[in-house]
Structure 1
Amino acid sequence: MQDAKLLTKTIGNVNRPTMTHPLPAHLLWLFLTLAISAAASLHLGLTVYDPATVLGALRGGDETEASLIIATLRVPRTLIAMTTGAALALSGLLMQTVTRNPLAEPGLLGINAGAAFAVTIGVTLFGMSGLFAIGLLALCGAVAATALVFGIALSVGPAAAPANTLLAGVTVAAMLGSLTQVMLLIDETAMESLLFWLMGGFADRGIGPLWIGVPVLTLGLAGTLLLAPALDALRLDDDSARSIGVHVAATRLAALGLGALLAAGAVAMAGPVVFLGLVAPHLARRICGPTPSVASHALLACLLGATLAVLADIVARLIVAPGEAPIGAVLALIGVPVLVALLRKRAEVAL
């Protein structure tokens, strides 16, 4: 592991461009941006509240309608958006690092679909409900989908072949999505209770899902920082990583497990939310340069993912007011152009 740290430092010194601002400055600016976005989320919506009303609601003791809306609706959805965005960003970063595929993210690799399908099966066939049951089902489905995707990719080519992994993920996501729709058509009662959740979003969730999301995010971030030196070495190639003492298979398996855990926690909180895991790591890479260490990349990606989720939630409230747009549609406005740009870039490199 010491060799991996030394190699990471050497690679960074040689390849990393000089940044205009050091990492602490980036973290500070992103933290401030997240704080401003969270404050805006408490103020903006169908009704716009002034700062005095928001502060009064946060202090408690005020049972006016405005205070109840802020304390019981806007605060939980803002916290869930932040936690979900950070978890999906970190999951996407781990997937991209392990597969060496810049297009990897929980939605495109079928992990979100696996978690959603498991929850649907549990609710429709076994009548399972409750926060703990939903979280456990999402975790089992995410892990199973991850194993299926990478098993298919391994069966047709090298473990880290980007095209194989992405094609397997899209195929599995489509299959599981179709099966989920079939299960909902069979059980109309379950469809009524799950349809809103399956659309993905942060509204009307309550504070309960954070009891799943916050521990999962904490564990995922701690695990990522612990694996960071080995993941830095794994970015080169498997043989180079092995030559300096990195256990490639164990590192890849641990990182995939953390990625699946983070995606499952996000699905349990907010349903299947796409594109955050794709966009946030790439924006973080733009900020800190093309070859950041995994540790610094993870911190920046988490802050960016949380900020993007909160801003998307604000736009979803306002864009079709007095209604509310699906969060997936708002995120697609950002995610689709990024995905197209990445595909074009890869095509140009191939030429």
Structure 2
Amino acid sequence: MLLKSNLQKWSGLLFAVILLLLLMCVSIVYGYTDTTWKMAIDAFTSFDGSNEHLIIQTVRLPRALIAAAVGASLAIAGVLLQTITKNPLAAPEIFGINAGAGFAVVITVTLFSLSNLQIFTWISFLGAAVSFLLVYIIGSIGRDGLTPMKLTLAGAAMSAMFASMTQGFLVINETALEQVLFWLAGSVSGRKLETLLSVLPYLIVGWGLALLISNKLNVLSMGEDVAKGLGLKTGMLKIWSGLIIVLLSGGAVAVAGPIAFIGIVIPHITRAVVGIDHRWVIPFSALFGGMLLLIADTASRFIIMPQEVPVGVMTAVIGTPFFVYIARKGFNK
């Protein structure tokens, strides 16, 4: 643990906020269209209608805000999943939650040709909820009840099923394929600010509820029996945690598509920095998650310029080695 005292943690939190804002500024300034810091400032203080100012205001600013919000949401969802399942590999994408939300959106596009943002939001939430419920039920079946290994296998099975069904629907509808293919790879490119605003209230509720239950998550981390002995209603806490996970994961997928590995990587990094107290883990994870997605998105613009790599591909490249490390460490103790 790098930050031990409360003073160090508060200082670290302030530094993380400043760094997040700086990365958002970098995301706004740098890209295929050559702009400068002065142009970015002028775009908001003395807008002149130029192409550069339009790109900064209508393309890059929404993109930076979306990356920060989605990264924070996926990171917090990963923290909650790992805590309530006691599984170091738990994350929305591993448990099939992202895949379920994505599949629900694809069905909406292919069967009903709908493109309304508000409908996408609710459909994404529904898909995330159904997927989470199925994984939890399947992982609980059997003599030993709920175990980290069974949950991981159930999540992998659900992810594979939803991914296969998604591909099947897209094969029979080429128009839908063109509409959602880039979205399915996970991307914050080309998203409008209205897209974020349509889900932001749900994300804010999810962030707030996660902070409210942080103390109870600390008790649950001590073990199920100990938590019950201290009077904690563990079943109700898990239901609330599941609701928060669905809000955050479903909202993130509705905006940016299924982006992987943030929910796995960030909670482990955060615990290495601030320890296991969820009162600190949750806010730090939110900031670190936003930072990681901003870095990945900014880097994705320069790899094959003038084309862009979907940010979901970038996070997969970053997260896959980390996933292998955590898998070996978590199941070989």
TM superposition score normalised by structure 2: 0.96
Q: How far apart are the structure 2 equivalents of 1:96 and 1:53?
A: 43
- Indicate the SS of the match to 2:301: helix
Deviations 1:264-311 (A, max 9, x none): 00000101100111111111111112x2x2121100000000011111
Separation in structure 2 between the aligned mates of residue 285 and residue 153 of structure 1, nearest angstrom: 26
- 2:61 — aligned with what? 75
C-alpha spacing 1:199/1:18, structure 2 compared with 1 (3 Å): closer
**Structure 2 residue ranges without an equivalent (≥5):** none
Q: Deviations over 1:4-58 (max 9, x none)?
A: xxxxxxxxxxx99845962111101111111111111111111331111111112
- AA matched with 2:313: A
Match of 2:87 among 101, 105, 110: 101
Q: Deviations over 1:224-281 (max 9, x none)?
A: 1221222111112211111111111111111011111100000001011001111111
What amino acid sits opposite 2:32 in the alignment?
L
- Shift in CA distance, 315/222, structure 1 to aligned 2, threshold 3 Å: same
Q: Please report how far the alpha carbon of residue 127 of structure 1 lies from its aligned counterpart in structure 2 after TM superposition.
A: 2.5
Per the TM alignment, residue 213 of structure 1 is displaced from its structure 2 partner at its CA by: 3.4
Residue equivalent to 1:5? none
Coordinate RMSD, CA, aligned: 1.7
1:206 pairs with 192, 206, 216, which one? 192
Deviations 1:192-212 (Å, cap 9, x if unpaired)? Answer: 111121111001011112123
1:294 to 278, 302, 317: 278
Question: Is contact 1:84-1:213 (8 Å) kept?
Answer: no
Give yes or no for contact 1:212–1:265 (8 Å, CA) kept in 2: no
% identical aligned pairs: 36
Q: Indicate the residue corresponding to 2:309 in structure 1.
A: 325
1:122-141 → structure 2 map (5 Å cutoff):
122-141=108-127
Report if the CA contact (8 A) 2:3-2:12 is conserved: no
- Contact 1:157–1:164 under 8 Å retained in 2: no
- Cα distance in 1 for partners of 2:209, 2:143 equals 29
Amino acid paired to 1:308: L
After TM superposition, the structure 1 = structure 2 runs for residues 199-238 of structure 1, keeping only pairs within 5 Å, are 199-238=185-224
- Does residue 149 (structure 1) correspond to residue 126 (structure 2)? The answer is no
1:28 aligned partner: 14
Taking structure 1 as the reference length, what is the TM-score of the superposition? Answer: 0.91
**Counterparts of 1:313 and 1:16, CA distance in 2:** 27
Say how many residue pairs are matched.
333
* Cα distance in structure 2, aligned partners of 1:99 and 1:159: 12
Q: Secondary structure at the match of 1:91?
A: helix
Structure 2 contact 47–53 (Cα < 8 Å) conserved: no
Cα separation, partners in 2 of 1:333 and 1:265, compared to 1, 3 Å: same
Aligned pair in 2 of structure 1 residues 280, 110: CA closer, same or farther (>3 Å)? same
Give 1:346 shift: 2.3
Q: Is the 8 A contact 1:112 1:267 kept in 2?
A: yes
CA-CA distance at 1:158 after TM superposition: 4.6
Partner of 1:11: none
- Checking the alignment, whether the CA contact within 8 Å between 1:91 and 1:259 is kept in structure 2 is yes
- 1:190 is aligned to 2:186: no
Whole-angstrom distance in 2 between the partners of 1:86 and 1:155: 32
3-state secondary structure, aligned to 2:193:
coil
Partner residue in 2 for 1:7: none
Q: Offset of 1:103 from its aligned partner?
A: 0.7
Q: Secondary structure at the match of 1:209?
A: helix
Distance 1:177 1:334 in 2: 21
Does structure 1 residue 254 correspond to structure 2 residue 224? Answer: no
Q: 2: distance between equivalents of 1:85 and 1:222?
A: 16
Q: Are 2:296 and 1:312 equivalent residues in the alignment?
A: yes
Return the letter of the residue paired with 1:79: L
Deviation at 1:338, TM superposition (A): 1.0
Question: CA 1:60–1:113 in structure 2 vs 1: closer, same or farther (change >3 Å)?
Answer: farther
